[in-house]
Homo-oligomer: A and B are copies of this chain.
Amino acid sequence: MARALTAKGAATRQRIIDGAAAEIRERGVLTTTLDDVCRRTATSKGQLFHYFPDGREQLLLAVAEREAERVLEDQQPHLGRLTTWDAWQAWRDAVVLRYQQQGMNCPLGVLITELGRSTPAAQAVTGRLVERWQYELHAGIAGMQRSGRIAAELDAGRTAAAMVAAVQGGVTILMSTGSSAHLEAALDTSLLFLRLSR
C-alpha cells in the first residue's frame, strides 16, 4: 500500500472513520450503511472507496481498531497506576461510569461478532485488546504483591485473566439488559477477592 496521502486526504479518511464509529455507536453495525456514513461525514461513495478500496469490511476493521484503543484509553490514567487500593477503586468506578454512559451500545462487541467469524484480522484486534488489558491488570496485581498488599502466592496472570473476563461479561450483560448490576458485582467481587487473598 504505497499510497500517497495528502494532509487533506488523511483528514477526510479520519473523518470517515470517526463518523462511521459514531454512527455505529448510535445505531449499531448492522443498520449502518455506507450511505449513512457518507451522509453523516459529508462525503461521497467515491471518497469512501478511495480511502477504503476493500469497502465496508476494511472500514469496519478500521473502526474496530479505533474503538479498541478507546476501550483502554477510557480506563486511563487509573489502569496504568494500580498501586493502591484507592487506585483500584477509582479504576472500578471509571469502568462502571464509562459503560453506564455508553449504555446498551457496545460497538466493539458487535463489530467483533460480525467481523470475527470471517476475518482473522478482526480476531487479531480483539486478541491484542484482551492481551493488553490483561497485561495492565497483571502489572497492577504484581505491583501490589511486591508491596505486600496482595498475597504473593496468588497467580497474578490467571487472576488478571479472570478479571478481564468478569468485566467483559458484566459489560455484555449491561448491553443486553441495560442494568449495570452485574458489572458492578463482577468488579466488586474481583476486588474483594484480591483483598481476601492476603
Contact = CB atoms under 8 A, between A and B. Distances in A.
Contacts of A172: 109, 165, 168-169, 172
Contacts of A130: 173, 177, 182
A196 B161 CA distance: 19
Interface string A93-136: 00000000000110001101110110000010011001000000
A135 to B, nearest CB: 13
Contact of A109 (B30, B113, B167): B113
Nearest to A179: B127
A176 interface: yes
Given A162-B189, A182-B130, A193-B189, A170 B173 contact: no
Interface of A: 28, 30-31, 104-105, 109-110, 112-114, 116-117, 123, 126-127, 130, 158-159, 161-162, 164-173, 175-178, 181-183, 185-186, 188-190, 192-193, 196-197
